[in-house]
Structure 1
Amino acid sequence: MFELQGGLLIVLSLLLFAAKGFALVDCVARQSSQFTYLETLPKRSWLIILSVSLVAHLIWWDPLQIFNLIGTVGSLVYLAQVRGSAH
């Protein structure tokens, strides 16, 4: 039972880390003017949020740790608001 739970947490942590990394790479590749067009935070703010989120995930690998939860929310908001609206 505990092995299954530990395995699920590892898989969840890897998926969330990949999502945060994808959001950061997408933000780096996106032009600053697109953020103004979408009326969202400036690119620099998103870069800071996503970078801190990714570093926090590296420090505290547990996906249920409070800093990881906050970083996950920030990354998912970016993906929904910026990436989702840009197409």
Structure 2
Amino acid sequence: MGGVNTVNGMTGIIMLVLWALAFGATAFALIHALRQRSDAFTAVDKLTKPIWSGILAVALLLLLLSFGGLGLLAFISIIATGIYLADVRPKVDEVQRGPRW
């Protein structure tokens, strides 16, 4: 019976680590969005800065509500964060940095 407790304990630790990574990524994305110029978002045909800031703030709140677990609320947050980090952030950074020569 001790093996079952070990597996459950390891599963809990893995879930907590995954949750912490998701929380860190979402916090990073929110801070990044807040620090950018508003016109950079519209220049790359993305949602506006206030909309992305709101989406990421709600994502962070949903992660807090699902503390330590990866339920439906956490997955919604992870998807929103992933879209921002993979699609919006690189383009916003590029438009503010200017063309590379």
* Cα distance between partner residues in 2 of 1:70 and 1:20: 11
Runs of 4+, deviation exceeding 3 Å: none
Q: Which residue of 2 aligns with 1:50?
A: 56
* Cα distance between partner residues in 2 of 1:55 and 1:43: 18
CA offset at residue 63 of structure 1?
Answer: 4.2
Percent identical pairs in the alignment equals: 31
- TM-score normalised by length of structure 2: 0.81
Deviations, residues 2-37 of structure 1 (Å, cap 9, x unaligned): 111111001000000000000000000010011011
User: Relative to structure 2, which stretch is displaced further, 44-53 or 75-84?
Assistant: 75-84
* Cα distance between partner residues in 2 of 1:82 and 1:49: 13
Distance 1:46 1:63, change over 3 A: farther
Q: Which residue of 1 aligns with 2:31?
A: 25
* Cα distance between partner residues in 2 of 1:8 and 1:41: 34
Question: Between Structure 1 and Structure 2, whose CA radius of gyration is higher?
Answer: 2
Deviations, residues 21-68 of structure 1 (Å, cap 9, x unaligned): 000000000100110111100111101100000011111114421111
Which of the residues 65, 68, 72 maps onto 2:74?
A: 68
Query: Which amino acid is 2:18 matched to?
Result: L
Q: Which residue of 1 aligns with 2:17?
A: 11
**Would you say the 8 A contact 1:62–1:68 is kept in 2?**
no
Aligned length: 87
In the alignment, structure 1 segments of 5+ residues that lack a partner are: none
- TM-score normalised by length of structure 1: 0.93
